[in-house]
Structure formats: C-alpha cells, structure tokens
Amino acid sequence: MYAEVIVDVAAYPIDRPFDYLVPEQYRELIESGSRVKVPFGNRQVLGFVTALKSETDVPTDKQKPIGELLDIEPVLTQEMLEMTKWLKRHTLCYEIDALQVMLPSALRAKYEKILGIVDHNVDLPQSVQALFQQREHVELKVDESKELLSLIKKLVKEDILSLETSIKQKTAVKKVRMIHIESDLERLKTVYDSISNQAKKQKDVVKWMMDHPGERIVSADLLKQLSTTNAVLQAVIEKGAATLQMEEIYRDPYADRTMDKTTKLALTNEQHLALSEIIDSYDKQEAKTFLLHGITGSGKTEVYLQAIERALLDDLEAIVLVPEISLTPQMTNRFKERFGSLVAVLHSGLSTGEKYDEWRKIKRGEVKVVVGARSAIFAPFQNVGIIILDEEHEGTYKQDDSPRYHARDVAIWRSEYHNCPVILGSATPSLESYARAKKGNYTLLTLANRPKEQALPEVSVVDMREQLKNGNRSMFSLELAEAINVRLDKQEQMVLFLNRRGHSSFVLCRDCGTVVECPNCDISMTYHRHQEKIKCHYCGEESQVPHTCPECSSEHIRFFGTGTQKVEEEIARLFPAARVLRMDVDTTRKKGSHEHILKLFGEGKADILLGTQMIAKGLDFPNITLVGVLSADTTLHLADFRAAEKTFQLLTQVSGRAGRHDKAGEVIVQTYTPEHYAIQFAQHHDFVPFYNQEMMNRKQFLYPPFTYVVLIQITHEDVLMTAEYAHKAANWLRDNLTDQSEIIGPTASSISRLQNRYRYQCLIKYKKEPTLPEVLQQLTRMYRTDWMKKGILMSIDLNPSSIM
DNA sequence: AGCACGCCGACT
DNA sequence: GTCGGCGTGCTC
C-alpha cells in the first residue's frame, strides 16, 4: 500500500505528490486527508496524504515508509482535497499553501532542531557546554553565531553530538486534570475512616467528596475551593477516593457571557419576498447565487437569520462571512443570540488555541453555524445548507498573500459542491457582482426600504474650498461645528470619520521642502504625538521626531496633514465639553479593546466616536443622530480604478450609521471636490445611478467588470534588477499572449519601495484569453526555477482587489 | 592540505 | 525549503 503525500516544502520541483510506503501498522487506520511525518531527503517533514493506492512507479530503492501517522481522524475532508486542486489552479499557488490555508494555524508544523550528546567521554568546547547547561538535549536555534553552528556541525559529523528534527503541532489540544469522585458512598466512607486523624486536610477533602459522590471537577477548581494543595489531593486519590484523568477541553472566548435568546422578527413584504426566493432555491437544492441588495438598515441580517433557520431544520450547516469580524461584535452577537451554542465564531481576535478549538467544534459537528472572517469560508462542515457573505463588496474578502483567493469564489465553489444557495449581501454591491446579477448569473433581490420606514438620513455636502475662502482654516466646517454643538446640547451621539490615523500625515521642512521619509520605504512618515514619534504605516519603522531638517538642518520643521489624533486634540479645543472616544489601529491594538470602546460608547459614556474606516461598518446605536465625514477626498484620488467605487461605498456605509432607530439622522460630508459623481450619488443614496455612471467609466477605460485584470508585481532590493525583470516579465507576456490581451507596464508601483524592496508591476487586461492559464503557469515556472535564485520576488494576482 | 563559500541538484 | 556534494579560491 502506498500513500500520495504533499510535503510541507514550498518549492517548485516539490510541488507534486510523493509516494510513500504505508507501514503495516497504519494500513487499517490511514485515510486520505491525514497528516503524516515522512522522511524527506535527510530530514523529517510534515505531509498530507492526498490519496492511497496499491501501485507506484517509484523504483523500490527510492521508496521510503511513512514515519508516523499523526491523525486517526483525517484533518482534511474529501471536499477540501478537491478544493485544493481548484485553488492551486486558480491562484497559481503551491499545493501545500492551498492545503494549509484551509486549516487552523495551530495544525501547522513547528520544526525544532534537537541537539543531543552521543559521546560523553569527549570534553565539549566551552561554547557548546554553555548551550547545554548540564542538560542532555537542547533546542538549537538558527540565530546562533556562525562559528558555533559550524562547530556543532563538525561535532555531529564526528558522532559526538546528535542532531534531530522534531515536528510538533504548533498549538496543542488543551487538557485539564479532571478529578472523578468515587460514586460509591460506602467506599468513600471506608477511605475516610482509614485516614489517620493527623491527616486533617485529607479528611476534609474526602468529607467534601462524600457530599459530591460520582461528580467530576477540574483539579484546580477543587484545590481552590477547599484551599488545599495537590499533595493532599494526590494522597486521597491514592487511597481510592477519586481518580484523575486528563480531559480535553475547549478554550471558550465567550465563556463568561450570557445572552438572551431572541426569536424571529416579523418580516416586511420585501424581506419576505427575498427570503422565499432563497428558500425556494434551497428546497430545490440549487447552487444558486443571490445578490441581496438592501439599503443600510433594511434588515438584511434578519433575512440571513431566517434562511439559516431553514437550513438548521434539515440539520444542515451554515457559513456566515462578515468582513473582519472582531470589528463588529454587534453582528456576531445577533447570531449568538438567535442560535445560542450552535454558533462558532472565528476571527482574528482569537488566540491560535481558541481558533483551533472553535475549528474542532465545527469539524465534529458540535456547532451548526459558523460566523467568521475570510478564512471561515473553509469551515470543515460536511453538510453545508447555506453560505452567506455579508458586505460582499468588502476588499478584505480577498487574501492579499498566497494563496490569493477571494472568499466569494470559494463560497460559490462550495455551494456547487453542496448544492446549496449563496447569499451575497450589501447596501453597496461591488460593480462585479451587480453586473453579474444584471446579466442573470446571480439572482438579484432588493430591499429598498427600512422595516420601520425610517427615512434615510439627510446628507449634506460641504465644499471645503468655500470654507477656506471665508477664512475658516479649521478642519471643521461651520456647518459641522454647528451640528456638533446641537448634538452636545441635546445629548445625542455622533460619529466622526477620518480615514487616516496618527497626528500629522507628513513632516515637512519649510526651507528646503524636504518631507521626512521612511528609510525602508518610499513613503512619508506620520507624526504620532502621543509617543512623540514618527512612524511608517507600511513597515512599522519608528524614530524620534527630528527637530531640525535632516537635509538642510533648518529648524523650520512643520507638521502637515490631519490624522485622528490631531482631530481629537482639535475637538478638545473647540468643544471642551465633548467626551471623545478614538478608535483606530493605535487604540485597538490590545485584545478586546475594540469591544470595550464600543461598549463604552453604547453605554453613553462618550458623545463622539472618532475613528478610521473600522467604524464605518456594522455599528448600530440608537442615539447616533450625526455622522461627520471630515474628508471624503482621502480615498477618492488614489491611483486605483476602484477609487470612486470605494469612496461611494464608504460614504454610504458611514451614512448608514445615523438615524437607524426612532431619531432622525443627519450626515455631513466635507470635501474639496463636491462635484464628483461618487459624492453626489452617495449624497442622494443613489446606488443604481452611481452604478450606471461608474460602469460607463469602466467600459471606457476597459476595467472590470468589462475586462478581467491580472496584476503582476516584481520586487527586488536593487532598482535596476527590479526594472530589468519587470521588463522581462512584460515582454514575455507580450510575446506569448494573444493580441486580445492588453499589457500595461511595467511601471513603478505607487509605493515604489516597501521594506527596502523596489516594486514594479504590470497589468494584464483581457476579456477572453484562452492561453492565459498556461502562459501564467509558464511564467511562474520561469520565476520559480530561475528568477527566485536572483532574489526576485514575483506575485501574480488574478482579479486583484486593488492595483496599487 | 584544509577550509570557507557559493552553486547545483535531489528530495518518494 | 534545505541539505549534501563539489568546485573554486584563499590561507597556513
């Protein structure tokens, strides 16, 4: 018996199955989808069994047996194995990357080099002895000095030391010491009597146990409750009053929270119509994709909940994706409230262990609904009944490193596998999805009204050029300042939005015009006043604020541009009575701080919630009556064909935060380009006219959804090398693709250097290009066999979410 | 001769 | 990706 194994090595010639002999003792147990340890070259690596067979073409002298079978229950389902092949083809990634992306990171291998002493008669050199410090075995870290490493290598060769790789799972299953108390009271009594009166503590413990016969309790809890020590407990166990067992437990991030269960809400006609179309298709077991276009506050979530309820009736499972879920506890809570313990939550705020435990609950079918961010689309359910992507237009559904998959594509693939519907929901659908819905590839469902018929908030656009002309140089227009004062008087809440964190976005010398740039990236450093530092938002570089110009030594250094920190200060100056909560990457770094800020705001502990785009989505507080967008221009002028679309989406989403309940909402948008159609249409909540206008632009410049694009990015530490290979790539594409494709570039990327690597890119635009998969595969091969060795890094992104 | 370093190819 | 093998060139 042989197993085809994909080994945990990402390299071009390795990117295929290797055949291994299955040892006798594993023949009954092994299944495809299990992890194994295998000898590979002269080391041990982790691998995934993708198939079993009785024959092989591999000559006998090259056949090696599997070292160890790691899973009795395979970690990969058959569906995942099929999905892997599809992912590999469609994202041009290594098969091993496709496999690993479907599993929680806890299951990834952790390789350790273990150094041991073989010959004790040899005196080891001082430096090696220091490493061992009397121990028999130590872990050898790669960051030891070169001299030491080569010395060790020599000693290993001479058989004085031994070097082995150990493979461990990154995070283990959490276990607790569980005490099982003897259930036979008589026997407990006997034990009690047998304990000498001197062992008072032991008597106490057994006495307590006699009140709790047959119960189970976690060892630590028992010790705490009886304020005793492990020694006492051990003695009691030895006498037979209880037994100790290691038991698996789940780390539960929601352990200390209780929630009131909610029941179905009554649906509006529109909601009902949408739901019955979905359920119809569900009943027919169609793999149909719905685009649920519902204005903000129109009750999309209730439609999701009731569609899921239908699937649960048949004991099928549901996957719900939300964009970066930890940002929207309000959203996850709605699922927890409706479906209680049937819900697993997967998001980036959980620890590796917590994610692993949620994953195991899903795998074992202990939960039926998973709510999670992008990677939750790989939830290991076996009987999926419905898949939902909320805010389907969000860029976070596209993974921006290998494998560069889009959760929407995976969702549709899985829906075809399980014959179940997919619901894509949004108030501002992506142009791609809306175009597909109009063409009939997706089924369009529309919710044009809010359930309680609340009006959409009034949006006014303020021309900041006029403010400047009238002598107002503040970042608050008169209109916005007035509106803020009104809310402060009425004790209503506000959300202020600015898509830029930090204090000032650049530091400029007024004498020579120098802007302080990051030493590793071609990007200006942002001033952060709280730590009195300047930071690069791309690579994390930090340094002291210069007091003189690094170029000309002038002291006329000034800070320009506005970030959330500066706005916070301005609010304190202009509205001293206002209580402000700032929410951006800088204030939400700690685990749970996100929820904490929102909780404070929900309890009315602040008047103003000031933040970056993380506050644009999902907030639902009844007392918010004003939303202020301090500058709508930040996203509008990016060098990306989706800039207008992103701006429209953002404005519509933030506007939706106001007036969701009884009180009417107002939105004030400040901009230097009020005439721009994205701002105009967002002002009037006009998605369809915006869509039509934007489609005309896309058509004119041949951008998606009229074409498909592929972004190819080349980076290297040396500019000339970067440019050279970018040209090579572009020329190769021009020579090999048909003239149905347009190849743009190479050009320097808009951030031309990042983390000390220069960046060039080219773009392929095509409507139909039958040769594309083949050509890209060949380009990848050239890169992996040849260019990589020269330090070039190349990435190919099909349907990139941004071309910057 | 003895070894450091870089390049090449193999890995079931 | 990571190892060993092998060639080149430098040093004692």
| pLDDT of res. A550 | 85
Instruction: Find which nucleotide's C1' atom is closest to A20's CA.
Output: B12
Report the distance separating Cα A678 and Cα A643, nearest Å.
Answer: 9
Cα–Cα separations (whole angstroms), residue A725 to A729, A783, A791: 6, 10, 11
Chain B footprint bases within 7 A of protein beta carbons: 3-5, 8, 10-12
Which of A615, A686, A621, A684 is closest to A650 using CA atoms? Answer: A615
SS3 for A339-403 is HHHHEEEECCCCCHHHHHHHHHHHHCCCCCEEEECHHHHHCCCCCEEEEEEECCCCHHHECCCCC
Q: Report the distance separating Cα A94 and Cα A3, nearest Å.
A: 19
Q: Residue A114, CB, less than 7 Å from strand C? A: no
Q: Are A242 and A181 in contact (CB under 8 A)?
A: yes
Fold of the A2-108 domain? GIY-YIG endonuclease (3.40.1440)
The burial class, CB within 10 Å (0-12 / 13-18 / 19+), for A496 is: buried
Reply yes or no on whether the pLDDT at A52 is more than 60: yes
Whether the beta carbon of A53 falls within 7 A of nucleic chain B: the reply is no
Task: Please compute the mean of the pLDDT values over residues A443-469 and round it to a whole number.
Answer: 90
pLDDT per residue as tens digits for the range A646-662: 999 999 988 888 877 77
Q: Which two tokens stand for residue A437?
A: 């819905």
DSSP A34: -
User: Is residue A405's pLDDT more than 70?
Assistant: yes
- Token pair 């991030």 is found at A253
Separation between the CA of A388 and the C1’ of C7 (whole angstroms): 60
Q: Residue A61: CB partners within 8 Å, gap ≥ 6?
A: none
Domains of chain A by residue range: 2-108, 110-169, 175-248, 269-447, 458-501+563-697, 504-560, 708-798
d(CA A44, CA A716): 32
Q: Per-residue DSSP letters for A520-583?
A: SSSSBPEEETTTTEEE-TTT--EEEPPSS-TTT--S-EEEES--HHHHHHHHHHH-TT--EEEE
Task: Answer whether any strand C atom is within 7 A of the Cβ of A10.
Answer: yes
Q: Is residue A532 a contact partner of residue A525, using CB atoms and an 8 Å limit?
A: no
Annotated binding-site residue? A552: yes
Q: Is the CB of A605 under 7 A from strand B?
A: no
Structure tokens at A655: 């506007």
Q: Which residue is it, tokens 């909560």?
A: A581
pLDDT tens per residue, range A194-241:
888 888 888 888 888 888 888 888 888 888 888 888 888 888 888 888
Span A157-201, pLDDT tens digits: 777 777 777 778 777 778 888 888 888 888 888 888 888 888 888
Q: What is the DSSP letter of A324?
A: T
* Separation of alpha carbons A134 and A740, rounded Å: 70
Residue A706: the pLDDT is 95
Q: Do domains A2-108 and A269-447 have the same CATH topology?
A: no
Measured between alpha carbons, how far is A793 from A787 in angstroms, rounded to an integer?
Answer: 8
Q: What is the pLDDT of residue A564?
A: 92
β pairing state of A542-544 and A422-426? unpaired
Q: Are A7 and A40 in contact (CB under 8 A)?
A: yes
A784 touches strand C (CB under 7 A): no
Q: Name the residue with higher pLDDT: A226 or A736.
A: A736
Over 70: is that where the pLDDT of A756 sits?
yes
Token pair for residue A232?
A: 């006492």
- Token reading at A441: 């590839």
Is there a contact between A697 and A768 (Cβ–Cβ < 8 Å)?
no
Instruction: For residue A742, give Cα distances in angstroms to A487, A541, A639, A730, A763.
Output: 53, 38, 19, 11, 8
Position A181 scores a pLDDT of 87
Mean of the pLDDT values across residues A527-552?
A: 88
Nucleotides of C under 7 A from a protein CB: 1-4
Strand B contact at CB of residue A13, distance < 7 A = yes
pLDDT at A285 over 70: yes
List of E strands, A412-536: 422-426, 443-447, 458-463, 493-497, 506-509, 526-528, 533-535
Residue A254 has pLDDT above 70, yes or no: no
Element (H, E) at A110: strand A109-117
Cβ of A176 near strand B (under 7 Å)? The reply is no
Q: Which residue has the tokens 């309680």?
A: A452
CA distances from A278 to A131, A272, A314, A383, A783 (A): 64, 10, 15, 18, 45
Architecture of the domain made up of A269-447: 3-Layer(aba) Sandwich (3.40)
Q: Is A512 among the annotated ligand-binding positions?
A: yes
Nearest by Cα to A19 from A36, A656, A468: A36
Establish whether A539 is an annotated binding residue: yes
Residue A142 beta carbon within 7 A of nucleic strand C = no
Kindly state the tokens that stand for A233: 């407990």
Environment class of residue A184 by beta-carbon count within 10 Å: exposed (0-12), middle (13-18) or buried (19+)?
Answer: exposed
CA gap A261, A239 in Å, rounded? 46
At A142, the pLDDT band (50, 70, 90 cuts) reads low
User: Under CATH, to which class is A708-798 assigned?
Assistant: alpha beta
CB-CB contact of A340 with A258 (8 Å): no
Element spanning A751, H or E: strand A741-754
Measure A141 CA to C5 C1' (Å). Answer: 25
Nearest protein residue to nucleotide B3, judged by CA and C1' positions: A150
Q: What's the Å distance between residue A163 CA and nucleotide C10 C1'?
A: 30
Q: With 60 as the cut, is the pLDDT of residue A370 above it?
A: yes
Section A322-333 average pLDDT? 74
- Dump strand ranges (E) for A258-357: 289-294, 317-321, 343-346
Q: Rounded mean pLDDT of chain A?
A: 89
Closest CA to A562 of A463, A487, A670: A670
Weakest-pLDDT range from A143-152, A229-238, A265-274, A415-424: A143-152
Architecture of the CATH domain A458-501+563-697: 3-Layer(aba) Sandwich (3.40)
Judge whether residue A562 has pLDDT over 70.
yes
What secondary structure does DSSP assign to A120-145, as a single string? TTSPPPHHHHHHHTT-SEEEEPTTS-
Strand C–CB A149 distance below 7 A = no
Query: CA(A720)–C1'(C12) in Å?
Result: 41
For residue A442, with 0-12 CB atoms within 10 Å meaning exposed, 13-18 middle and 19 or more buried, which class applies?
buried
- pLDDT tens column, A426-441: 999 999 999 999 999 9
d(CA A443, CA A321): 19
Radius of gyration of chain A from its Cα atoms, rounded to whole angstroms: 31
Helix (H) or strand (E) holding A297: none
CB atoms inside a 10 Å sphere around CB A42:
6
Report the pLDDT averaged over residues A409-418. Answer: 98
Q: What is the pTM (predicted TM-score) of this model?
A: 0.89
Spatial distance between the Cα atoms of A66 and A52, rounded to a whole number of angstroms:
12
Residue A743 pLDDT grade (very low, low, confident, very high; cuts 50, 70, 90): very high
pLDDT at position A143, please? 67
How far, CA to CA in Å, does A721 sit from each of A727, A749, A756, A793, A803? 10, 15, 14, 11, 22
Q: How far is the CA of A154 from the C1' of B2 (A)?
A: 14
Q: Which of A45-59, A610-624, A788-802 has the lowest mean pLDDT?
A: A610-624
pLDDT, residue A457, reads 87
Measured between its terminal Cα atoms, the distance across chain A in Å is 50
CB contact at 8 A, A2 and A55 = yes
| pLDDT score recorded for residue A326 | 53
Query: Do residues A392 and A433 make contact, with C-beta atoms less than 8 angstroms apart?
Result: yes
Q: For A396, phi and psi rounded to 5 degrees?
A: -70, -10
Cα A233 to chain centroid distance, Å, stands at 44
Report yes or no: A203 and A195 within 8 Å, Cβ to Cβ: yes
